Structure 1
Amino acid sequence: MKVKICGILDAETALYAIEQGADALGFVFAQSKRRICPDTAKNIIELLPKHIQKVGVFVNEPKKNIEKIAHYSGLTHLQLHGDETPVFCRSFSYPVIKAFNIGSDEDLLKIKDYECESYLLDSPRTKSRGGTGMTFDWTILSSGKIESGKIILAGGLDSENVGMAINLVNPYMVDVSSGVETDGIKDHDKIRKFIQIAKQSGGSKYANI
């Protein structure tokens, strides 16, 4: 099972997460308490192994700005977490992860219009686009409307529920941010425990994708 730790703000946490087995790290360039500037992201990314996915998170950002930040910072993937259209998502040379807020079975229907490398499925939208610490009804995904091998499961995951979520959804990757934080700060012990449990919890079908 692949694991993405999102909301990285410092090199120490980034390197620790990789040491524990993280496959991808997320850098938030949208308005958020976890927002990072391109200079800091660049300095961190320069220290990371090439095989690690460096994912930039953007919300309704102009294409020109996204490409500028991606190139400068050294991103490998783009995660678009706003109201981006299918045409907009297809316009990038970078692999695109399109995020969707899932509250009902109907929310899955819009995904079929997008041709992206993968789809990040998050909890229903509130004032925040993500990182709310809230889960959603994972049984919605049992309909088979989305290929499991393209699902990145997010939304309220932590070490207590990630095993159950993986066994139920069998996603390509799990994504966590607030679930490995204490008082809004990334907690190394929680990162270690989350990755350990996720890696032990099935999902081997897509391990080499």
Structure 2
Amino acid sequence: HASLSLSGTTKSNVIVNTTTSPLKVYDNRKEAFNLGSDARLICSNKTLTKAVFVIWNIELKHKTCKISFNHEGQSSNSCNDGKSLQNSTDQSFLHIPNFSVNDVGVYKCESTYTGGNENYNIRVGVTAPPVVSAWLEQRGNKMVAVCRAERGIPAANISWSVTGNQSVTQQNNPDGFITVESQLEVPEDTDHANLACIVRHELWEWERTETPKFRGGQVCFDALNDNTV
């Protein structure tokens, strides 16, 4: 066996068996697609004219299904969820429309062609940007700033423009989405114009900044102890 690494956006580990004929290739890799995007998984870079058959065995959280195609034009599809084998520039690929958390799983593909056989084991995940919100709360004589990044994959990172006592909680939802919340005890001498939470996420090229404000109907007592006589 000879091993080699592939560069690119996906993590890949390829083992080529050169001790027997025909040639056999085993490829394990990871890929992730944005929530709501149209995903494309390529089983083999061999052209359709060389393919004898292509079989996708798909293992999802709630079901397993199979999609196959052979050189005689026969095909089968037990997924019934929009997934389909499509062709582009003489190449076959698995099309997954409107990618969702239900499409996360292990996609195993076997491609047999003239002269060899390729087996792909692809762990497919999803990425999703969080929804960011920020607000202020008066708790006794303390003011607390709250910043929340909801339902992101992977988890967002939250920081603050000012220093103070802060706590971070992370909620991992059963559907894979992650909500992160940071609470900051705002120092009394803070200029609110300079108070902001900074949120970073893998999908964003730039960080997002939110300025926390009191929600409607809430009153800000900037310094309750100043009212004491």
Q: TM-score under structure 2 normalisation? A: 0.20
Which structure's CA Rg is the greater one?
2
Of structures 1 and 2, the one scoring higher in RCO (CA 8 A, sep 6+) is 1
Q: TM-score under structure 1 normalisation? A: 0.21
Q: Report which of the two has the higher share of helix.
A: 1
